[in-house]
């Protein structure tokens, strides 16, 4: 079985039909971060995010409607800042581990997300994505058809609420970033708990400073819309990266790292402007193949390797249909909507909870 550390920083032992060593050679040249490109992304990510929020505040004193347009732009920079945070968590943004940690903490504060805590959960996601026997950490709650049929009425209702696209995009960001990330879990180590504590203290300091300067009302007037728009975009991106019809899930004894990356992670082909704001994370099949590739090298890695180009792209328009997919059908090996179930075939509502 693959360890968390292997899924996060290394290639797994075996599992590739073409051989581990050949894949390592293919991706190795893309692992090296570029100091200038990383520095430029700091300017066009977190720095641009803070500046546009300030501009939105200044404009809001004249017209809230004009400020709203700037807030939408700030939300785009919010997403781009999160990609910087994400790359720092993978240790791919800078060559220096210390630089990754420092920038990761700062961008994590901007994203209301504790760096070390999220880093651990995300490493588990990379090590277990597509594994039906190891769900539940750093992923979207997904039940199989059989599990849903055996679930209690309360679990079914909860699951339907979680998978509702409106609740997912409207309530999801508030819960994920404002509530869930404020607490550590019993599985966290000392480093992760300290990460949550220091992030919360820093956020409290920012809110206090904002209250004493621009005022809490003005701060919330800008921060909340930007956060909700950017957060919804981020939640949607994470959702479609693995929750598409022909994605790949398998039980642990048949699980394969490379297969999960190429078949279980989407190639989300976005318009160029959205690709830029989302930091190329649409090349998610490449990212899951090798998390050590900085986001600015993902398109080149995809372009220069024919194997990666065989992954069918998911367009922006086609991705909207993903919101109607809810359950993994182990017999058909694809995600299916609730409507495929017939109530007359459902057994008594008792059994296991979350899968």
Residue 183 φ then ψ, to 5°: -125, 145
Can you tell me the distance from the alpha carbon of 255 to that of 249, in angstroms, rounded to the nearest whole number? 8
Looking only at the bridges linking them, the beta strands covering 334-336 and 327-329 are antiparallel
Write down the pLDDT at residue 23: 73
Write down the pLDDT at residue 21: 54
Q: Are residues 31 and 188 in contact, defined by beta-carbon separation less than 8 angstroms?
A: no
pTM: 0.89
> pLDDT in tens for each of the 355 residues of the chain?
333 333 333 334 334 444 445 777 888 899 999 999 999 999 999 999 999 999 999 999 999 999 999 999 999 999 999 999 999 999 999 999 999 999 999 999 999 999 999 999 999 999 999 999 999 888 999 999 999 999 999 999 999 999 999 999 999 999 999 999 999 988 889 999 999 999 999 999 999 999 999 999 999 999 999 999 999 999 999 999 999 999 999 999 999 999 999 999 999 999 999 999 999 999 999 999 999 999 999 999 999 998 899 999 999 999 999 999 999 999 999 999 999 886 435 444 444 443 3
Write down the pLDDT at residue 92: 96
What's the gap between Cα 169 and its chain centre? 13
What stretches of the chain show up as alpha helix (H) in DSSP?
Answer: 4-9, 20-28, 35-42, 48-60, 64-89, 97-110, 115-128, 145-150, 153-163, 165-170, 172-173, 190-212, 216-240, 257-263, 272-277, 284-289, 298-303, 306-309, 316-319
Half-sphere CA count of 331, side-chain side, radius 13 A: 2
């Amino acid at each position: 079985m693959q360890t968390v550390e292997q899924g996060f920083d290394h290639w797994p032992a075996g599992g590739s039909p073409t051989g581990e060593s050949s894949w390592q050679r293919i991706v190795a040249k893309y692992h090296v971060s570029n100091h200038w490109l990383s520095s430029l992304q700091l300017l066009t990510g977190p720095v641009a995010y803070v500046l546009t929020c300030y501009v939105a505040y200044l404009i809001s004193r004249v017209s809230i409607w004009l400020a709203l347009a700037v807030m939408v732009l700030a939300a785009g920079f919010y997403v781009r800042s999160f990609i910087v945070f994400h790359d720092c968590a993978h240790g791919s943004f800078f060559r220096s581990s210390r630089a990754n940690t420092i920038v990761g903490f700062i961008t994590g504060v901007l994203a209301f997300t504790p760096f070390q805590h999220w880093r651990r959960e995300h490493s588990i996601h990379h090590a277990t994505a597509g594994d039906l026997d190891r769900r539940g950490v750093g992923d979207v709650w997904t039940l199989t058809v059989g599990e849903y049929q055996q679930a209690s009425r309360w679990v079914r209702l909860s699951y339907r609420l979680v998978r509702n696209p409106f609740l997912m995009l409207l309530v999801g960001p508030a819960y994920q970033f404002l509530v869930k990330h404020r607490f550590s879990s019993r599985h966290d180590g000392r480093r992760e708990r300290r990460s949550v504590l220091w992030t919360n203290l820093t956020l409290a300091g920012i809110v206090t400073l904002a209250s004493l300067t621009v005022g809490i009302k003005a701060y919330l007037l800008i921060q909340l819309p930007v956060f909700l728009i950017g957060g919804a975009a981020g939640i949607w991106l994470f959702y479609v990266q693995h929750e598409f019809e022909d994605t790949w899930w398998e039980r642990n004894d048949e699980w394969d790292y490379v297969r999960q990356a190429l078949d279980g992670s989407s190639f989300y082909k976005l318009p160029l402007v959205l690709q830029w704001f989302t930091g190329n994370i649409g090349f998610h099949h490449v990212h899951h193949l090798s998390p050590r590739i900085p986001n600015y090298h993902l398109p080149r890695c995809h372009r220069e390797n024919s194997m990666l180009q065989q992954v069918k792209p998911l367009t922006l328009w086609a991705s909207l249909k993903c919101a109607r997919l809810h359950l993994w059908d182990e017999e058909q090996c694809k995600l299916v909507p609730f409507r495929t179930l017939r109530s007359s075939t459902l057994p008594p509502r008792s059994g296991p909870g979350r899968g």
